[in-house]
Amino acid sequence: MHDIRIAAAQFEARDADKEYNFGRIEALARRAVDQGAEIVSFHECCISGYTFLQELSRDEIAALAEPVPDGPSTRRLVELASELGVALLAGLVEIDGDRLFNTYVAVSPEGFVARHRKLHAFISPHLSWGEEFQVFDLCGARSSILTCYDNNLVENPRTVTLMGAEIIFAPHVTCGLDSPMPGRGKIDKGLWDNRDRDPARLRQEFLGPKGRAWLMRWLPTRAFENGVYYVFTNPVGVDHDTIKPGLAMILDPFGEILAESNALGDDVVTALCTPDKLDQSSGRRYLRARRPDLYGKLTEPLPEGQKPEINPGWRLEREG
């Protein structure tokens, strides 16, 4: 890895409106380039929209889905990357045969680089789970992608780090959800609608336990414990029946925030990521101190008949 300037973007996506969403991707990518960015990252399913997928039938999701890398959105990302001279990462729904995936795509000016199929997809039963980790070169940096819930299982970032990742791109659609955790819950849409008249109240919600305070429980830890850069992206504003706080940020291998957005709207932030912090970080020392001979329990198969299950707090609340 060499010195590299990375951007994390946030915007208010529109459900199923790929043309509008791509327009925002292009505008924010251009803004990031003006700030010197060499890589620009966007949120989970930012091209198609995300949370509304829970309301759609399989046929309706399939109608939104595209092949990767030969679909129109991936080709359009490559064209934009080539025009701007930067790498771009963005999310969409992928179709491959009879399977649908929540997929995140990385492209460079030279073309398609990699895709990550979300390992722990849950927004719709019609989405299949990805089956592998990806570590790839992007602008001279060993990079990986973990989408939203993928980051909540500590084994996933540890695995890609052991595979050589120096930067983990973490596209999300999160925060502002019902939860049994104290202080968490939905953000009132009225506060979003009134953000110009009373930004202070909305910012308190975004920065409190419904938003940033929850992220601070675990996100810096993922960067710190593995000694990697983390690039967090998340939408801002209305996302189906929720309000999202954005909070796009870039964290260094010490778990320190290099750049973050507190904007109550579309925004992009950039930070310079340097290789020296990788070797200096505690996380890299911890990797060398591991005792794999003691970790057999981690790789034991699940009990017979038991399958992996995902029960987000907001889903438990709804079912309760």
pLDDT, one tens digit per residue, over 194-223 is 999 999 999 999 999 999 999 999 999 999
What local confidence, expressed as pLDDT, does residue 52 receive?
97
Q: With 50 as the cut, is the pLDDT of residue 37 above it?
A: yes
What domains are there in the chain, each with its CATH number?
Answer: 4-319 (3.60.110.10)
Provide mean pLDDT across the span 81-96: 98
Distance (Å, rounded) from C-alpha 281 to C-alpha 298?
Answer: 25
Look at residue 296 and give its three-state secondary structure. helix
Distance (Å, rounded) from C-alpha 108 to C-alpha 82?
Answer: 7
When mean pLDDT is compared across 126-130, 199-203, 231-235, 308-312, the lowest value belongs to 308-312
CB 251 within 8 A of CB 220: yes
Q: What is the 3-state secondary structure (H, E, C) of the chain?
A: CCCEEEEEEECCCCCCCHHHHHHHHHHHHHHHHHCCCCEEECCCCCCCCCHHHHHCCHHHHHHHCECCCCCHHHHHHHHHHHHHCCEEEEEEEEEECCEEEEEEEEEECCEEEEEEECCCCCCCCCECCCCCCCEEEECCEEEEECCHHHHHCCHHHHHHHHCCCCEEEEECCCCCCCCCCCCCCCCCHHHHHCCCCCHHHHHHHHHCCCCHHHHCCCHHHHHHHHCCEEEEECCEEEECCEEEECCCEEECCCCCEEEECCCCCCEEEEEEECCHHHHHCHHHHHHHCCCHHHCHHHHCCCCCCCCCCCCCHHHHHHHC
pLDDT band of 308, cuts 50, 70, 90: confident
Provide mean pLDDT across the span 302-315: 79
What local confidence, expressed as pLDDT, does residue 145 receive?
98
For the chain, percent of residues with pLDDT exceeding 90: 92
For the stretch 276-305, pLDDT in tens is 999 999 999 999 999 999 999 998 998 888
Provide mean pLDDT across the span 254-260: 98
Provide mean pLDDT across the span 127-137: 97
Q: With 50 as the cut, is the pLDDT of residue 319 above it?
A: no
Provide mean pLDDT across the span 151-167: 97
Provide mean pLDDT across the span 6-33: 98
